[in-house]
Structure 1
Amino acid sequence: MTSILDQYEQASQSSQRMKPAVEPMVSGYINMQLEDNTPMFSKQRMKFNPSDLITHAAVSNDYLFVQPSSKLTGIYLDPLGFHLLMAFTARTKVIDASPELVYLHRRSVKPKPVSKSRNYEVTEVGWNMENSSEMTTGPILLGTSQGHILETEIECDSSGDMPITGIQFHRIHSTTNKYFIFVTTRTRLYQFIGHATTTDEKPSLQSIFYSYLTMPETGFQEIISTLKYSKLQFFFDKSYNPKTFAWLTEPGIFFGQLDPTSQQNSNSLFTHGELINYPTASGEESEPAPLSFVLTEFHALLMYSDRVKIVSLLNQELVFEDIYTETHGKLKNIVRDTSKRTIWAITDKSVFRYKVVKEERNLWKIYSDKEQFDLAKQYCQNNPACIDLINVKQAELLFTKGEYEKSAEIYAETKKSFETVCLKFLEDERIDALKVYLSKRLDALTDDDKSLISMLVIWMTELYLSQLGLLRRTGQEDSQKYHQIQSDFEVFLLHPKVSNCMQHVKSVIYDLMSSHGDKQNLIKLTFINEDYENVVAQYIYKKSYLEALKLLQSLKRPELFYQFTPVLMEEVPKQSINALIAQGARLSPSKLLPAFLSCESDEEHVSEIIRYLEFMVQHFNVKDKAIHNYLLTLYAEHDQESLMRYLTRQGQDVMMVNYDLSALLGLWDSAVELALQVDLGLAKSVASQPDTDETQRQLWLSIAEHVITKNQDLKEAMSFLQECPLIKIEDILPFFSDVVTIDHFREPICQSLQEYNNQIEEMKAEIEEATRSAEYVRSEIQSFRNRSALVSVTDACCLCDITLLMRPFYLFPCSHRFHADCLASEVAPILSVARHKKLKDKQSQLAHLSAIELNTMTSSGLPLREVLRNEIDDIIAAECVFCGEHMIECIDRPSCGNVNQRVLMSLTRNT
């Protein structure tokens, strides 16, 4: 069971944990966890109960050494955990007593003194990180309280008596013998770099210091401190290469990135050095310096007598605080196992090990706040929500700095609201940046996002056209900016997604370009889309008729000639006819007739039309009567000599001529008019040829008007009434002069009135017949209302021969009777598909609806049940299957044989 003190400690530790470094943020991603909820730092008490109070501790390679001796000033364990150095004070208090350094091997029980350190109080040891021997330490450096540095037993003079508080050295590259050394005192950080000599294949570091003996003492970092101690720590990666260092001083921890190669350009072995202040408690202005600390990759664990504070090396924030109770005594040391990368905290009575879990989890947020966005993304662990937040922040920063296009590129990679981003650029009138954003969003869409692609294509086209239009209106059409935007626009139109989308929205794009008056780009776009119809239309719109003709001739699309010839003939008749002639038999002259008829406004146009028709008739032997009739009409109206030559060539054989002898192109009025100039009989024959009565009537009236108004001949007028029944006396009366009396028309008028009277009598007879039929129908309906029929208990169904009264049945006026289900089965196969489906629906409703629903009153005033039954009856019992229309229609079909037999049997029984 957990003791009460342990429970108190756990509660105290939990209460002191800092709030998460990441505040809630809004992202385009929904419900996505931005961080690992596992505590970043947690501790575990080890099962170890020492007999005496612990005063010193050292740890390496999973080996922990603790020492309760009061005479001990320090213990130092190499990275392998095999070699332990213990520094003692003088054994006696006599004047010539000396401190002592003792060496103990892990596999030995007997320590031995280190003679070369005699008379020196060793305060720090610099271990050789490359040493792999279990039997020897290799070359090491010893720092003394008098400020001396010893390599094994080699003494090195120093200018002061400041104790050495930290030593770290490392080879710069594994293939060289170049080393760097960091040495700290209470107030100074020294840096040494140089080549070590090799003796017995072991490096000797003395030579590194030789070059510094004759140099002024300037190559150090000094921080004023009143502390009697300081501490130096390196952080090594998994390959034991030092990455960062930290130096504990009174004002704070001096921290930097190690970069030995940078010494080539400067005198410093580190970069980005900064002083990290100690975290202060609330209400306090300053915090005392910690007693010790260890370094992780991104944090520093600061040890005080009663607590451990963990500070971020990146933003100097306190991320965790662990309070130790008096139960376990005061903290004595905190150390880090370089090999196993574990951290140990030692109190008077206990040992604790700290576990570090994903300490880099909040780095993305820290780097993002420091505007180091590339680094922030590296520590996102591919979390899309975190990456999105970083991109949004970077885009907003770039926008604030005025780098709008770069900002647009980043915005396009985020889940930020599309409308919000667009409005941001529009409100600031950053159209170029908006185009960049829209272009990037367009690239990110898939081919299935057709609606979004269409929207972006239309909008970007509008933006390009607006910019170009503004520059044209301000006289900058020849400026470099105009040409650049025009070039970008052409590249945009050739984009694969834009080209595919253009097939669906080209009409909208064409309208946009037309509204901006951008004819040049409109023609380019039509060429890109191979939309030659619009190309020709745009040439015509620009009044570039010859260019339109040139394009038409280069295309093998006759339908475009038929479409645009009317306009081209009107504007450039000669060139148009030349183009038509050049096409030869590829064009059908009859399809060009509408174009010719619409533009025969003057002699130039007529002569060109005649030239084309003559060419086609003479060179391609066109026999189409419409062409010949039209050519003959043009000859008759404009060229009498050519008319005579044409008629001569055609000859007198009616069967051989190519034109219509009775009329030209259906111009009956003109034909009759011309015929009247030749012969009245010819005019009458022409008037009798049209297919419609109304056309014939109008032509006969024209002839009558011509004859009557000419000579007022009554007999001849009367003959018209006999020859054409379509004309009445009242139709020709207006053609006579006012001096003609009605006596002259007595006989035809009476005859006309008699015809009207006969028609009236016939209509009266039809009305009387219809009245009698209606009366008969009404009487029949009335008789059916009062009609009844008797059903005997012996009556049987005409289909199944089972007693009729056993089930619901239908009784028809013809006395045939059927069970309802028998009749339904008989009728179903002969129903149409629609009526059969309706029958099934009504039967299903009647069977499945509840009683409450069936009793619901409908708009007709009847319950729903009655309405459904009536509709079923109308389908099933519309007629008797034995004597209805269906039986009559199929009486001669073999498939109806069984039904016919049942009908005969039914009739026999009834008889």
Structure 2
Amino acid sequence: MTSIFDQLEQASQISQRAEPVSEPMTSSGYITMQMEDNTPMFSKQKMNFNPSDLITHVAVASDYLVLAMANGKLFRLDLKMPDQHEEIHYAKFVQPNTKLSNIFLDPLGQHLLLAFAARNKEGNPELIYLHRSRNKPKSVSKSRNYEVTEVGWNYENKSVTTTGPILLGTSQGHLLETELEADNDKMFSGSQQYWRQIFDIGKGTDTPITGIQFHRINNTTKYFIFVTTPTRLYQFIGSAVFTDNKPSLQTIFYSYLTTTETGFQEIPSTLKYSKLQFYFDKDNTPKTFAWLTEPGIFYGQLDPTSQQNSNSLFTQGELINYPAEKIDTKDLVSEKSDATEKTPLAFVLTEFHAILMFSDKVKAVSLLNQELVYQDTYSEAHGKLKNIVKDPIRRTIWAVTDKAVFRYKVIREERNVWRIYSDKEEFDLAKQYCHNNPAFIDIINVKQAELLFSRGEYEKSVEIFAETQCSFETVCLKFLEVNQTNALKFYLAKRLDALNEDDKTLISMIVIWMTELYLSQLGFLRRKGKEDSDEYCQIQSDFEMFLLQPKVMNCMHHVKSVIYDLMASHGDKHNLIKLTIINEDYENVIEQNIYKKSYLEALKILQGLRRPDLYYQFAPMLMEAAPKHTVDALISQGHSLTPSKLLPAFLGCENDDKHVLEIIRYLEYIVQNFNGKDKAIHNYLLTLYAERNKPALMRYLSRQGQTLDMVNFDVHYALRICREKNVPEACVKLSALLGLWEAAVERALDVDVPLAKSVAAMPEDTEMQRRLWLTIAEHVITKNQDLKEAMSLLQECPLIKIEDILPFFSDVVTIDHFREPICQSLQEYNTQIEDLKAEMEEATKSAECVRDEIQSFRNRSVVVSVSDACCACALALLLRPFYLFPCAHRFHADCLLTEIQPTLSPARRNKLSDLQRRLSVLSSAELAAVTASGLPLREVIRNEIDDIVASECIFCGEYMIACIDKPFITDEDWDKVMKEWE
């Protein structure tokens, strides 16, 4: 049950807790969010420890608590097991003329040092060592002449039996290096590995050392050391020599022994004490330090690497003043205000606060703004405060009075850090400690934006304003008042991005406003003649990007007329055209240009678009007015246009050669460059050729080819057009293309005999060629009865003979004129007859040979002896049914079946299996049944099996050729063969 004194003390603690800094909500975006955390930042709890006497000293490390009491005993307790504690009488192990001055516990909670000072001149200082597992302390023998005032523990030491190298500070200013080790003998502990003095800070004067901290710089062999006296803070840095993975700290001071100046920070003080504390981050790396002096706490960020450029191992050092005394007249506990007690007796360091201990109270002061954030007054019932310490490993904080032990709990001490950094204008740090709280971040952003705005940094200010929840109208008015158009545009763009698609009214308002701003800026620069300036180009580029945003494009469908009016009022024709492109409202602008007879401007707009439908729509008017430029524009579009859709525009302007030539130019471009195969295009081009350019028509027909599957025009239509336009050469080619050879030759004879000859050579059918040549011969001979020309025809075409053309000559021509051709023809006939005779004799001889071979096979036989063996298994052949081949190879039936089966195709293998199954399954009566062929079924099945199995000899047939790449010995038989060869 809580005592009345504890209840009064808790009431005092609550009443004197400092109120958190309040801050007005400068942003309207978060009106329902709770801005303060009501959980106390610091709270204490009295521990249920019952020491046997008044407490004089305390030490805590790794959840291990050691109390020194006035009766000469030590109270030791493992905080993980609070019900088990022990008391050790240490006074009987030390000289009577000494008194306990301090106790020191290493970070592991394993090694305890008790420092004793002499009571009078007869006494000597002493240092006692006690291991956690021992009950009897032992004096450190070499410490007799040194009064130890401070111990610098080795934070890298992980051993429970040895302290590792440590530093001891004395009342005379000596720095000692030693290592203590627990003996195996439980009755005796504390052997010294070594003991040496490594530096003298006092240099002959009695300057007590009040604080020691040494740590290794990460990933190096360097160490930095902080040593404090009542008025000075010394800094040392150097490389240590490692032996058995243990550093020798003495080497660090070698460079300082030869110089008279040692780096130190001096703060005047009349006190005989000071305190040094380090704060470690989560990786147990020293982050900050604090040094308690009479004027205040000297605080800084540790940065050992900065020593390369300066003599200081820390940065941002500042002196934090002690908070003023607050006396609450309503306090239930009576207080005795001691005006002279201004300096704390002890303190501990947290990440953001220093917790100061006075004789009757504990205060917490912020390290960032030096404000008092917590005050706790202790009741006289517990006695005066003796010390406040922090567990370096568990980070728990303990305050000790004469009669009680209290534990302090720190809960989210960083909760108000963001406010402090914000007040100090360190906004990035403030945001880091907001823990992503949107309300806090919004407050910081508003402050930062207001600060930048007051400094005239409008662009940076508006970037941050855009991330806040400030009133839209307020921010816009701010930048309008100072005429910052660019900043206002940026803010409007950010707010536009943040709007949902449903906020159509707000989106429309912002789009119209931003359009007006862009047009005003562009118009102002145009009036000044700066259309070619970089500023104008940049604004124009930004405006185009703005118009292409999806939200803006969607909004344009609703406010298109308003935007058009704005652009028209500013006379910005260039952007008006671009806007029509974005809105796909091209018809309006192009029609206006055509109406104003600005055909080139209309074509320029069309070329800037990717709208083929507009070309089809406006091509008739543009072709009529500007054929050459229109065709140039059509050609520039390449294959993106469908030429057949442009035919109506072409058909309407065939009035003169100027238009026709441009149409032909476009059609030729399509046919030649894109291999167009549209029959309508080719038919139209062929028609224009037939009307205007007959040589081009012939070249076109030649390029198209001589087969129907190669041409891309309608051949019948082309033939009709060529007849109508009287182009006989083209008619000849088209008739030949259709296979109308007689008609083609007849038309060619009307034009030119060589043309007819070339047509007659085209058909693949020799009989057709012969008829065509006879037609040509008849035409030539009946025309002029020229014997020489007739003889040349016989030489050009070997298909016609002299007898074929004789009827075409008149009766007055005598046979003497044809003697030589007739003799040549008779000689050829005689040669053919002799060849036929030779072929007949050769065929007769071949038939005789075949008949002789058939007769010899009828009388052929083979003798099988008893000694003959199977060629496959080498066993006697007559033991089992066998096959005998004409090549004299012989095999058992089952051996041949085994050999031949893997070579069969799947179909023949299945058929063989089926025949074997039928032979084994059918009954004798069924097998004896006579089939349609007159043979028993058994004989028919066996014959079919023989046809499959014995179709060829496996040694002489195709099977042996197929096996030429197979090894003689398989992998399975290799081991067997190897054994046989052995």
TM-score interval, smaller chain: 0.5 to 0.7
SS in 1 for 2:453: helix
Q: CA deviation at 1:527?
A: 2.5
2:595, 2:358 → 1: CA distance? 89
Q: How does 1:296-307 map to 2 (within 5 A)?
A: 296-307=350-361
The structure-2 alpha-carbon separation of the partners of 1:332 and 1:545, relative to structure 1 and needing over 3 Å to count, comes to same
Instruction: Give the conservation status (yes or no) of the 8 Å contact 2:389–2:399.
Output: yes
The structure-2 alpha-carbon separation of the partners of 1:453 and 1:90, relative to structure 1 and needing over 3 Å to count, comes to same
The structure-2 alpha-carbon separation of the partners of 1:519 and 1:328, relative to structure 1 and needing over 3 Å to count, comes to same
Q: How does 1:509-588 map to 2 (within 5 A)?
A: 509-536=563-590, 539=593, 544-548=598-602, 556-557=613-614, 561=618, 585-586=648-649
Partner of 2:126: 100
Letter in 2 for 1:20: P
Q: How does 1:42-81 map to 2 (within 5 A)?
A: 42-69=43-70, 71-81=99-109
Q: CA deviation at 1:549?
A: 5.9
The structure-2 alpha-carbon separation of the partners of 1:243 and 1:558, relative to structure 1 and needing over 3 Å to count, comes to closer
Select the residue among 143, 146, 156 that pairs with 2:172.
146
Instruction: Say which is worse superposed, 384-393 or 149-158, in terms of deviation.
Output: 149-158
Partner of 2:15: 15
SS in 1 for 2:55: coil
Please give the per-residue CA displacement for 1:844-867, whole angstroms capped at 9, x wherever unaligned.
xxxxxxxxxxxxxxxxxxxxxxxx
SS in 1 for 2:476: helix
The structure-2 alpha-carbon separation of the partners of 1:485 and 1:348, relative to structure 1 and needing over 3 Å to count, comes to same
Instruction: Give the conservation status (yes or no) of the 8 Å contact 1:331–1:347.
Output: yes
Instruction: Give the conservation status (yes or no) of the 8 Å contact 2:213–2:225.
Output: yes
Q: CA deviation at 1:204?
A: 1.1
The structure-2 alpha-carbon separation of the partners of 1:547 and 1:239, relative to structure 1 and needing over 3 Å to count, comes to closer
The structure-2 alpha-carbon separation of the partners of 1:540 and 1:123, relative to structure 1 and needing over 3 Å to count, comes to farther
Q: Does 2:282 match 1:238?
A: yes
Letter in 2 for 1:517: G
Instruction: Give the conservation status (yes or no) of the 8 Å contact 1:22–1:362.
Output: no
Partner of 1:881: none
Unaligned runs of 5+ in 1: 590-618, 620-911
Select the residue among 61, 65, 89 that pairs with 2:117.
89
Partner of 2:259: 215
Please give the per-residue CA displacement for 1:168-202, whole angstroms capped at 9, x wherever unaligned.
000111x4321110000011101111111123331
SS in 1 for 2:450: helix
Partner of 2:206: 161
SS in 2 for 1:154: strand
Q: How does 1:448-527 map to 2 (within 5 A)?
A: 448-527=502-581
Q: Does 2:151 match 1:125?
A: yes
Partner of 1:338: 392
Q: CA deviation at 1:109?
A: 1.2
SS in 1 for 2:150: strand
SS in 1 for 2:537: helix
Instruction: Give the conservation status (yes or no) of the 8 Å contact 2:522–2:539.
Output: yes
Please give the per-residue CA displacement for 1:512-557, whole angstroms capped at 9, x wherever unaligned.
1111111111112222333212332564698735422665799544
Instruction: Give the conservation status (yes or no) of the 8 Å contact 1:533–1:560.
Output: no
The structure-2 alpha-carbon separation of the partners of 1:18 and 1:542, relative to structure 1 and needing over 3 Å to count, comes to farther
Partner of 2:941: none
Instruction: Give the conservation status (yes or no) of the 8 Å contact 2:434–2:441.
Output: yes
Please give the per-residue CA displacement for 1:448-504, whole angstroms capped at 9, x wherever unaligned.
444333322221111000111122233333333222212221222223332333333
SS in 2 for 1:442: helix
2:291, 2:248 → 1: CA distance? 26
Q: How does 1:430-829 map to 2 (within 5 A)?
A: 430-536=484-590, 539=593, 544-548=598-602, 556-557=613-614, 561=618, 585-586=648-649
Partner of 2:747: none
Q: CA deviation at 1:274?
A: 0.6
The structure-2 alpha-carbon separation of the partners of 1:550 and 1:29, relative to structure 1 and needing over 3 Å to count, comes to closer
1:37, 1:538 → 2: CA distance? 72
SS in 1 for 2:66: strand
The structure-2 alpha-carbon separation of the partners of 1:104 and 1:507, relative to structure 1 and needing over 3 Å to count, comes to same
Letter in 1 for 2:118: A
2:105, 2:326 → 1: CA distance? 38
1:586, 1:61 → 2: CA distance? 96
Q: CA deviation at 1:258?
A: 0.7
SS in 1 for 2:162: coil
Aligned residues: 583
2:600, 2:246 → 1: CA distance? 95
Partner of 1:627: none
1:286, 1:450 → 2: CA distance? 71
Q: CA deviation at 1:509?
A: 1.6
Partner of 1:172: 217
Letter in 1 for 2:296: G
Partner of 1:109: 135
Q: CA deviation at 1:44?
A: 0.3
Letter in 1 for 2:157: N
Select the residue among 340, 344, 360 that pairs with 1:290.
344
Letter in 1 for 2:464: I
Q: CA deviation at 1:34?
A: 2.5
SS in 2 for 1:89: strand
Instruction: Say which is worse superposed, 330-339 or 29-38, in terms of deviation.
Output: 29-38
Please give the per-residue CA displacement for 1:605-626, whole angstroms capped at 9, x wherever unaligned.
xxxxxxxxxxxxxx9xxxxxxx
Letter in 2 for 1:167: I
The structure-2 alpha-carbon separation of the partners of 1:556 and 1:587, relative to structure 1 and needing over 3 Å to count, comes to farther
2:606, 2:225 → 1: CA distance? 86
Letter in 2 for 1:162: T
The structure-2 alpha-carbon separation of the partners of 1:398 and 1:474, relative to structure 1 and needing over 3 Å to count, comes to same
2:238, 2:495 → 1: CA distance? 55
Please give the per-residue CA displacement for 1:399-423, whole angstroms capped at 9, x wherever unaligned.
1111111111111111111111111
Q: CA deviation at 1:427?
A: 1.1
Partner of 1:205: 249
2:628, 2:157 → 1: CA distance? 102
Please give the per-residue CA displacement for 1:14-38, whole angstroms capped at 9, x wherever unaligned.
1101111243424311211223221
- Note the aligned Cα RMSD (angstroms): 3.0
Letter in 2 for 1:157: D
2:100, 2:121 → 1: CA distance? 18
Please give the per-residue CA displacement for 1:85-124, whole angstroms capped at 9, x wherever unaligned.
1111226x344x3111111111211111111222111000
Please give the per-residue CA displacement for 1:292-327, whole angstroms capped at 9, x wherever unaligned.
000001100000001001011111111000011111
Letter in 1 for 2:648: A
1:244, 1:356 → 2: CA distance? 18
The structure-2 alpha-carbon separation of the partners of 1:584 and 1:133, relative to structure 1 and needing over 3 Å to count, comes to closer
The structure-2 alpha-carbon separation of the partners of 1:424 and 1:540, relative to structure 1 and needing over 3 Å to count, comes to farther
Instruction: Say which is worse superposed, 104-113 or 31-40, in terms of deviation.
Output: 31-40
1:145, 1:331 → 2: CA distance? 24
Q: Could you tell me the TM-score, scaled by structure 1's length?
A: 0.60
The structure-2 alpha-carbon separation of the partners of 1:556 and 1:282, relative to structure 1 and needing over 3 Å to count, comes to same
Instruction: Give the conservation status (yes or no) of the 8 Å contact 1:311–1:320.
Output: yes
Instruction: Say which is worse superposed, 404-413 or 547-556, in terms of deviation.
Output: 547-556
SS in 2 for 1:232: strand
Instruction: Give the conservation status (yes or no) of the 8 Å contact 1:278–1:287.
Output: no
1:206, 1:214 → 2: CA distance? 14
Please give the per-residue CA displacement for 1:711-760, whole angstroms capped at 9, x wherever unaligned.
xxxxxxxxxxxxxxxxxxxxxxxxxxxxxxxxxxxxxxxxxxxxxxxxxx
Q: CA deviation at 1:286?
A: 9.7
Select the residue among 184, 196, 221 that pairs with 2:240.
196
Q: Does 2:457 match 1:415?
A: no
Q: How does 1:209-358 map to 2 (within 5 A)?
A: 209-281=253-325, 288-358=342-412
Q: Does 2:245 match 1:182?
A: no
Instruction: Give the conservation status (yes or no) of the 8 Å contact 2:234–2:262.
Output: no
1:541, 1:229 → 2: CA distance? 100
